[in-house]
Amino acid sequence: MGHMSEDRTKERVASTAWCPKWEQELSEYINTCERCKKENRKHGKYGLLQHIEEPKHPWETINMDWVTGLVPGGKGNFNSCLIIVDRFSKSMRCLPCHNEDTAIDTALLFWKKLISTCGVPKIIISDRDPNSHLNFGPTSMTCWVLNLLFLQLTIHKKMD
Assess whether 28 and 81 both reside in one domain: no
Residue range 66-123, pLDDT digits in tens: 888 899 988 889 999 999 999 999 999 999 999 888 777 888 888 889 888 888 888 8
Domain that holds residue 121: 61-159
Assess whether 19 and 74 both reside in one domain: no
Number of domains within the chain: 2
Question: What pTM, to 2 d.p., does this model score?
Answer: 0.55
pLDDT at 150: 54
Assess whether 98 and 137 both reside in one domain: yes
Average pLDDT, the chain: 76
In order of 42, 49, 131, 137, the CA distances from 46 in angstroms are: 12, 9, 18, 19
pLDDT band per the 50, 70, 90 thresholds, residue 158: very low
pLDDT at 156: 42
Assess whether 21 and 69 both reside in one domain: no
Assess whether 76 and 136 both reside in one domain: yes
